[in-house]
Amino acid sequence: MRRFRTLLMLAVMGLSMGVLSACDSEPQPVPDATPTPTSPNTLANREWPVVHSDPAAAVGQRAVLRARVYKVSTVADDLILCAWVDFDNDQLSTVFRVPDTTEGVARDDFVLLEGSIARVAEPGGICGDTVQPEVEVSHLTVTDRVGVRPALQSERIEQALERRGVRVVLERIEFAAEETRIYFTLENRREETLLAFATGLVIEVEGTEIPAIIPIGEGIAAPRGRVAPNTVEHGGFQFPALAPDGPPITVRWRGAQLAPSGEDLGEWTWVVDPSGAVAPAG
């Protein structure tokens, strides 16, 4: 009986320690929806320049890709997508054949695709005059730019600057693996049109200025450069990938003015420290 009680007490202690250990552990991150290679032999976007240079050598291999569609066609009962795998530079055109599907995808949609390289698409086909791989798709997800490049970390700033009846808010910064996105609100309270174009927007990191890029495709709308009187515009701009724990980022928006008077609104400047050591300032 004594041995039985001893074993029972040890079992209870072990269970209690297991529960405490589970409570102290860090919660596991929720995986994003982007498909990832399941084996070393699965090809992804980073391998696609090599595949594209010699598609015949890759026939039969499995691929998990992200792309932006630039043309949609149908052949018999199949959907044919012409898409850029390098969707930042409109490069690495690839043919994607989706069997037994004829709708559901539009031009400029971003897509997540899984399938196998079935053949080489010869020049003069549906997707252009270059030799390119043709992938037979087994799984297709239609998404947007944020879906193919999900944010690893998002910093809400909500720092407003106001000058001469125009209010600009730096809303948030999203850090993705391959790009950084900065979102703004522009509120024009004047009776003139506000001219604030992306050509005047830069970020500065450790003394180097980096110009804004207007995002391509669905998912991130850039604010219109011409903001009508008494109107509010929202939207985001794209920059190269930055580390969330990197050095402070200075955001500068120059050249804004009112039309037709030509009144210069000067420069809007924000300083953001992603590490949190320095409070946002403008």
Query: Tokens representing 267?
Result: 């420069």
pLDDT tens digits along 166-213 = 999 999 999 999 999 999 999 999 999 999 999 999 999 999 999 999
- Distance of CA 202 to CAs 2, 154, 188, 210, 271, Å? 76, 19, 21, 5, 12
Instruction: Determine the 3-state secondary structure of 82 from DSSP.
Output: strand
| Banded model confidence at residue 37, pLDDT cuts 50, 70, 90 | very low
Query: Tokens representing 190?
Result: 């004047």
Helix (DSSP H) and strand (DSSP E) numbers for the chain: 3, 16
**What percent of the chain clears pLDDT 70, i.e. is strictly above it?**
83
pLDDT tens digits along 145-161 = 999 999 999 999 999 99
Across the range 86-105, mean pLDDT stands at 92
CA distance 34 to 113: 9
Contact present, 112 and 143 (Cβ < 8 Å): yes
**Residue, of 281 and 121, whose pLDDT is higher:** 121
| Banded model confidence at residue 48, pLDDT cuts 50, 70, 90 | very high
Residue 167's Cβ-count burial label (10 Å; 0-12, 13-18, 19+) is: middle
| Sheet-wide strand order for 249-253 | 208-211, 201-205, 249-253, 268-272
Query: What domains, with CATH codes, occur in the chain?
Result: 45-143 (2.40.50.140), 151-272 (2.60.40.1630)
